[in-house]
Amino acid sequence: MPSDLNRSVPDLIGDLLQQTSTLVRKEVQLARAELNEKLAVMGAAAAAIGVAAALLMAALVIILQAIVALLVTFGLSIWLSGLIVGVVVAIIAYVLLRGGINRMKAASLTPDRTVNQVSRDATLAKEAVR
C-alpha cells in the first residue's frame, strides 16, 4: 500500500468517500439494532403490564363491590354507595392515566448510543480533514 504522501488527491477523496459510506452504513445498522433492542424490552414490559392489568381488574371489581357493601352497612343506599365508589375510582384512574401518558414520551425510543457515536464520528472526521 503506498504511503499517504505518494497518493493522489482523487485517490484520497475516493478513500474518504468509501470510508464515509461504510461508516454511514454501520451507523444505520447500529441505530436499527439499538431500536430493535429497545422495542423488544418495551414489548416484554407491555405484555407483563397487560397480564397484570387483567388480574388487577378482576381483583379491583371484587374490592369495589366489598366497599359498596361496606357503605351500605353504614346506612347509605346501594345506588349512592355505587355512585360514590365509581366517582372515586374514576378520579384515581384519571390521575394514573395522565401520569402514564406523561411518562410514555417518544424520547424514550431515541437511540442514544447511536447519536453519541455519530457525534464522535463527526468530530473525528473533522479532525482528520484538518
Q: What residue has cell string 402514564? A: 100
- Please name which of 117, 103, 105 lies closest in space to residue 33, comparing C-alpha atoms: 117
55-59: long-range contacts, CB 8 A cutoff, minimum separation 24: none
pLDDT digits (tens, 9 = 90+) for 9-34: 888 888 888 888 898 889 889 888 88
pLDDT beyond 70 at 106: no
pLDDT digits (tens, 9 = 90+) for 55-93: 999 999 999 999 999 999 999 999 999 999 999 999 999
